[in-house]
Amino acid sequence: MRADTPNSPLPADWHECVRGEGITWENRRVRSELVCFGEVMYQPGGACGPRTQRDWQLVFLHSGELAASVGGQQRRLAPGEVGLFLPGKTEHFSFSDSLPTHHSWCSVATRLLPAQFRKLLEAAPESQACEQVQAGLLAAGLGLGRAESALAQGAVDHIGLALFAAYVNAAAERADGGAVAKAVRYMEQHLGDEHCLQNAHVAADVSRNTLISRFHSELGTTPAKYLWRLRVERGTAMLAETGLTIAQIAYACGFGDPSHFSRLVKELQGVSPQHLRRKQWAPEAAPRRPRKRAG
């Protein structure tokens, strides 16, 4: 087995190999008692194992090549992918013979994962493309540094759990490949776009009439009505959570006319946007205590 030491030299172009992320270390680790985040740059020809996997682990490949023998089965990860490795199996990792291989990981102890969560992970795919939310959580975990305080240790645990939840959620979304699900996901991500509805029909990959029929069957509404309700719900949340004007919120949520937004808010919420914001921002008035009569 060959593993690189922290003092091994890096090639002159190693920054390009890690996609310009400016990583200046070869090995670092952030951990609590139950969760570990790690990152390493292996030199060409590096390897790790054989070892028995003790925890649940996600491995993120940033550059180079990664091949793994897991319980006698061969697996590979491509740059930009994340792989799931379950406990109890013997693993051996080997890396590119010609390029440095940069990868990160997050491992979580079994006792931190609820039984139902473990079942979801067991049913999840062995690998998938790393999505933005997973990359952000990985960076947050690694960014905690030494994590020596109790508060930082708790943050390591929570971010680790969130990262595994994001993996399961991404797998579930990919598995739900129905036309309605595709259209809804597109609407949620692009509701402020002028042509959101038309592009949602394209994303659904079925005819317009078929999508309308399936929306009626599954959601009891039309794609257009669903989109407008989604826009109102997002706008209502922004009334409470931002200081943007009502007009700015309306335009951000895809309304061409702020009065249209106001009208739909009143239909769905029973009050105008102005009244709704005052209600959400103003503290509740404390009940008045009755005055004692002088006697």
Q: Give the model's confidence band at 19: pLDDT under 50 very low, under 70 low, under 90 confident, else very high.
A: very low
pTM above 0.85, yes or no: no
Residue 24 has pLDDT above 70, yes or no: no
Q: Does residue 5 register a pLDDT over 70?
A: no
76-85, 119-128, 190-199, 284-293: which has the minimum mean pLDDT?
Answer: 284-293
The tokens for 247 are 């007009």
Which pLDDT tens digit goes with each residue over 52-67?
Answer: 999 999 999 999 999 9
d(CA 238, CA 229): 14
Chain centre to alpha carbon of residue 80: 15
Evaluated on CA atoms 253, 254, 257, 261, the torsion sign reads negative
Half-sphere exposure of 103 (CA within 13 A, CB side): 29
Lowest mean pLDDT among 3-17, 90-104, 186-200: 3-17
Q: Is 16 left (phi over 0), alpha (psi -120 to 50) or beta?
A: alpha
Please determine, for residue 288, whether its predicted confidence score (pLDDT) is greater than 80.
Answer: no
User: 128: which 2 tokens?
Assistant: 């998938």
88, 81, 89: which is closest to 105 by C-alpha?
81
pLDDT tier at 149 (50, 70, 90 boundaries)?
confident
Percent of the chain with pLDDT over 70: 85
pLDDT confidence band for 285 (50 / 70 / 90): very low
Mean pLDDT for the chain?
A: 85
Above 80 in pLDDT, residue 4?
Answer: no
Question: Using CA atoms, how far apart are residues 50 and 58, in angstroms rounded to an integer?
Answer: 18
> Which residue has 């649940």 as its token pair?
56
Select, from the ranges 7-16, 178-187, 249-258, the one with the highest average predicted confidence (pLDDT): 249-258
Closest CA to 103 of 86, 85, 120: 85
Distances (CA, A) of 226 to 54, 181, 183, 209, 234: 46, 12, 10, 15, 12
Q: In this predicted structure, what is the pLDDT of residue 2? A: 35
* C-beta separation of 127 from 84 below 8 A: yes
Highest mean pLDDT among 28-37, 143-152, 187-196: 187-196
> In this prediction, what percent of the chain has a pLDDT beyond 90?
65
- Contacts for 61 with CB less than 8 Å, ≥ 6 apart: 77, 78, 79, 80, 81, 82, 83, 101, 102, 103
Q: How confident is the model at residue 94 (pLDDT cuts 50, 70, 90)?
A: very high
Please say whether the beta carbons of 180 and 215 come within 8 A.
yes
Residue for token digits 């960076």?
Answer: 139
pLDDT at 14: 34
Model pLDDT, residue 15: 35
Q: 3-state DSSP call for residue 132? A: helix
Mean pLDDT over 100-121 rounds to 94
**Mean pLDDT across 244-267:** 94
Is the pLDDT higher at 3 or at 150? 150
State the Cα–Cα distance between residues 94 and 106, nearest whole angstrom. Answer: 18
Q: What's the rounded Cα separation, in Å, for the pair 241 and 141? A: 26
* Cα–Cα distance for residue pair 240/230, rounded to 1 Å: 16
The DSSP secondary-structure symbol of 71 reads: T
Q: Which of 1-5, 61-65, 177-181, 268-272 has the highest average model confidence (pLDDT)?
A: 61-65
* pLDDT given for residue 37 in this prediction: 95
Say how far apart CA 67 and CA 81 lie, in whole Å. Answer: 12
For the segment 72-93, the average pLDDT, to the nearest whole number, is 94
Partners of 91 in beta bridges: 51, 70
71-76 contact pairs (CB < 8 A, 24+): 75/126, 75/127
Task: Pick the more confident residue, 279 or 163.
Answer: 163
Estimate the crossing angle of helix 223-241 against helix 258-269, to 10 degrees.
90
